[in-house]
Structure 1
Amino acid sequence: MKVKNEKFNYTEWFSADEINEHSKDWLSQLLFIKDEHQFLLNLIQTFSTKKISKNQLNQLEDFKNAINENEIMLHSLISQVKKHMNQLKILVDGVNQLEMEHGYKKTHKELFMSMNQYMLDYRTVKERGFAKLTSIMKITKPSNNNE
């Protein structure tokens, strides 16, 4: 007797409700990051108005550029997740469309991997940026309002 060796993808095990929950969670995370980007850009602007060295100003500019580059991917992911959420009906419409359903689940898996990579990349951007801000804060003396 020959044993059939089948490969199963993780998406084959998720229900439509679980896939929908993933998508809603992703969108929530991405929208939070969008707000966080604005906060970080405002924070950078605050630091850039202080008396800092040219090197420190360059560090702030690097952080700002990293956020702006990250934001490009952010907007793309937001669009992809929203589109993915709108197409969920493929799984729940009761119509047997195996090819489309398979495509939808494949897209979900790709989004899952893209989200994981994006979150890792974003975390790296923030860690490096905060390290730069921290070093600038340590070097920069607080302004004295009594002068």
Structure 2
Amino acid sequence: MDTPKQNFRYVEWKSSDEMHYSCLQWISELNFIKDEQIFFQDMLKEYTVPILESHLLEEAKTLIFKLTDSEKQVENLMKETTKHRNGLQVLVDGIDQPNQEKEYREEHRSLLKQVNNFSIQYQSLKKDIFNTVSRALKQQKQKKLLS
């Protein structure tokens, strides 16, 4: 899926407190996504029979693969974000290090793009999972009504 290219210029002007707060927000969002992923795994397991009866197995397998891949991405983003948050010392240590500070800000910008792109892809995956399970349940309900 192509994600729109976003140009974030405000990172240069963010204070160290604002960048720290951004990191905490990303970590919170990623933790929530981890919980959601467990819910989606359970949901796909719970509705296996309707999915099989509706002949949506291949679609469900693809979704499970994408969900597993997104779990790995969340773990990587969590590690990068935590490492980045811990590196904030470069900005607050009181020592003037323009190259390292610029490097940290560029890293923040890159991480911002990664988290936003992942979030867009993950929202699409959630929609696909709900649509697949919903179709399976509707088809199962129709079969029961016709029986």
TM-score range relative to shorter protein: 0.7 to 0.9
Which residues of 2 match residues 114-133 of structure 1 at below 5 A? Answer: 114-133=114-133
Equivalent position SS for 1:39: helix
The answer (yes or no) to whether the contact 2:54–2:139 under 8 Å persists in 1 is no
Paired with 2:141 and 2:12, the residues of 1 have a C-alpha distance of 57
1:111 aligned partner = 111
The answer (yes or no) to whether the contact 2:53–2:140 under 8 Å persists in 1 is no
Whose RCO is larger (CA < 8 A, sep 6+)?
Answer: 2
The answer (yes or no) to whether the contact 2:90–2:100 under 8 Å persists in 1 is yes
Which residues of 2 match residues 56-95 of structure 1 at below 5 A? Answer: 56-95=56-95
2:52 aligned partner = 52
2:3 aligned partner = none
Paired with 2:46 and 2:11, the residues of 1 have a C-alpha distance of 45
Paired with 2:115 and 2:64, the residues of 1 have a C-alpha distance of 22
C-alpha displacement at 1:51, in angstroms?
7.3
Superimposed CA distance per residue, residues 60-118 of structure 1 (whole angstroms, 9 cap, x where no aligned partner): 22221110111121111010000001001110010111111111000000011111100
2:35 aligned partner = 35
Fraction of identical pairs, as percent: 28
The size of the alignment, in residue pairs, is: 136
Equivalent position SS for 2:52: coil
Paired with 1:136 and 1:49, the residues of 2 have a C-alpha distance of 9
> Taking structure 1 as reference, are residues 92 and 102 closer, same or farther at Cα in structure 2, changes over 3 Å only?
same
C-alpha displacement at 1:49, in angstroms?
4.2
Paired with 2:134 and 2:9, the residues of 1 have a C-alpha distance of 43
The answer (yes or no) to whether the contact 1:52–1:140 under 8 Å persists in 2 is no
Counting helix residues as a fraction of each chain, which structure ranks higher?
2
Paired with 2:57 and 2:89, the residues of 1 have a C-alpha distance of 50
Structure with the greater alpha carbon radius of gyration: 1
The answer (yes or no) to whether the contact 2:51–2:136 under 8 Å persists in 1 is no
- Alpha-carbon RMSD: 2.0
* Runs of at least 5 residues in structure 2 that lack an aligned partner in the other structure: 1-7
C-alpha displacement at 1:44, in angstroms?
0.4
